[in-house]
Structure 1
Amino acid sequence: MILQTQPEPLLQVRALHKSFGAHDVLKGVDLTVRPGEVSFVIGPSGGGKSTLIRCINFLETPSAGEIMFDGRHLCREEGNVFHVAPERELRAARSEMPMVFQHFNLFSHRTVIENVIEGPVMVKRRRRDEAIADAERLLAEVGLADKADRYPDELSGGQKQRVAIARALAMQPKLILFDEPTSALDPELVAGILDTIRALAERGMTLVVVSHEMGFARRLADVVHFIADGAIVESGPPQRIFDAPENPRLAAFIRSILH
């Protein structure tokens, strides 16, 4: 009998805390993401979803705990001392797990293609002509080949978000983080972004998606993590999370969505 072993985690979060002054937002979060896995983080507003994902790539610095990404410690506790990796190591890790933001975060004074090549040229030091060729291919993949020379203000919200996804892909990432990628979009634009994310999952990319799109999470996720009051209180496959939740807080959350 051959025992099947799971791959080593690409991302490991343990006992993660984040405080803003006296306010504890994350209270000991544990999260594991394996290569090729699509993980959704769901939960009520103010539960800590966005803070968690911002701490993972150090847009916010955690207060305590451990984050290991691709075998490298980005922060950890040793004795009573909390250590954070040097900024150059954090920048390198961030380039390998870019984030797609709720409000796009594009450079308004740069064209679409300039937005996409910024990271590869400035961070990864790729040749400009190579970065442009790659950006043109990625923009074609997300249906924006004809928008390369436009500025963000000339695009719809859905088009801006697809540019942001192309920008993340241009970094040749090991993991992509999505922070509520559809919440700033008009309803008629949401489906296009969800289709783009689905295509990434079908390519085997590792994704962590903070989202309020429960139907999408049910269909696409390998694992769903429910976070409330600063802690992940239940994790599991989407069928169990949505159809047979064990935690009373999760059960109440699911009922509130259904009704």
Structure 2
Amino acid sequence: MSQPHSAQEDLITVRQLRKAYGATYVLKGVDLKVKRGEVSFIIGPSGGGKSTLLRCLNFLVKPSGGEIIFGDRRLCHEDGNTFHVVPERELRDARSRMPMVFQHFNLFNHRTVLENVIEGPTRVQKRNKEEAIAEARVILDKVGLLERQDFYPDQLSGGQKQRVAIARAMAMRPQLILFDEPTSALDPELVSGILDTIRQLAVEGMTMVVVSHEMKFARRLADRVHFVAEGIVVESGTPERVFDAPESDRLKGFISSILH
């Protein structure tokens, strides 16, 4: 669980967030808050809207309506029947400060580990290359991959690729890291290494939103758990509240199904 943070203000506020594909609404009015320094887990059944919600937060998927506030910046909102989104330049800046770690790594296969990690800082944030390289090496050492800095992704195991993806996110000096099922594409014996890396980030106070099926991990690490089903947040609370004292029939059914 993350350390107490001096400024527990909201880093992300989501109000009535909706996403439709054609006439089908995947998100039907999501309300969510994430405090600075908090580790939030999003759990729920497959197809309930968890990954879509995560992608809407940093506009990899454009929402259809609602409001997202990131820090002191309102990224989208509604005015009557009109949905307003800030210019793409502002979205790119926001996206660079809340990078995503994907289920299937999304590394550049023709670039080395080090080149993958410095891509965002040098190309997106226009930082000095030598400075970015020095910082990337510190981060790679932290995730146990410094000796692999000149390897290519196809020379790495799945767990190593995912640690490179986490290092790439960390190199952006993020305010928030989004994780979309970071362990689901890994063999079981590789999962614990990734969970240890995420746990260490939590200890250091990194704000994180994690979509995961790893319920034991969510119970141990989360400050707050949001149960998402059928396009809405059905219940939110501490891990103890959500897992041990669910209130809605929907959550009770979900907890029962994963326990058995």
TM bucket, shorter chain: over 0.9
Map of 2:11 onto structure 1: 10
Mapped pair 1:90 → 2:101: no
Q: Where do 1:58-137 residues align within 5 Å?
A: 58-137=59-138
- Inter-CA distance 253–144: structure 2 relative to 1 (3 Å threshold): same
Mapped pair 1:154 → 2:142: no
Aligned pair count reads 255
- Rounded to whole Å, the distance in 1 between the matches of 2:222 and 2:72 is 24
- Rounded to whole Å, the distance in 2 between the matches of 1:34 and 1:7 is 6
Map of 1:185 onto structure 2: 186
* Cα displacement (A) at 1:135: 0.5
- Rounded to whole Å, the distance in 2 between the matches of 1:112 and 1:85 is 33
Deviations 1:78-111 (A, max 9, x none): 1211001100000000000000000000000000
Letter in structure 2 aligned against 1:198: R
- Rounded to whole Å, the distance in 2 between the matches of 1:9 and 1:35 is 6
Deviations 1:201-250 (A, max 9, x none): 00011000000000000000000000000000000000110011001100
SS at match of 1:47: coil
- Rounded to whole Å, the distance in 2 between the matches of 1:240 and 1:70 is 27
Kindly report structure 1 stretches of 4+ aligned residues shifted beyond 4 Å: none
SS at match of 1:53: helix
- Rounded to whole Å, the distance in 2 between the matches of 1:127 and 1:97 is 20
* Cα displacement (A) at 1:7: 2.9
8 Å Cα contact 2:143/2:167 also seen in 1: yes
- Rounded to whole Å, the distance in 2 between the matches of 1:137 and 1:203 is 15
- Rounded to whole Å, the distance in 2 between the matches of 1:147 and 1:187 is 22
SS at match of 1:82: strand
SS at match of 2:120: helix
RMSD, aligned CA? 0.9
- Rounded to whole Å, the distance in 2 between the matches of 1:8 and 1:250 is 28
SS at match of 1:10: strand
- Rounded to whole Å, the distance in 2 between the matches of 1:149 and 1:75 is 40
Map of 1:56 onto structure 2: 57
Which ranges of structure 1 fall in alignment gaps of 5 or more residues?
Answer: none
Deviations 1:115-148 (A, max 9, x none): 0000000111111100000011100000001100
* Cα displacement (A) at 1:8: 2.3
SS at match of 1:118: helix
Mapped pair 1:208 → 2:242: no
SS at match of 1:249: helix
Map of 1:258 onto structure 2: 259
Letter in structure 1 aligned against 2:190: L
- Rounded to whole Å, the distance in 1 between the matches of 2:69 and 2:147 is 40
Identity %: 71
Mapped pair 1:21 → 2:13: no
* Cα displacement (A) at 1:6: 7.2
Letter in structure 2 aligned against 1:113: L
Map of 1:231 onto structure 2: 232
Deviations 1:182-211 (A, max 9, x none): 000000000000000000000011000000
* Cα displacement (A) at 1:23: 1.2
Mapped pair 1:37 → 2:41: no
Letter in structure 2 aligned against 1:44: P
- How does the TM-score come out when normalised to structure 2? 0.97
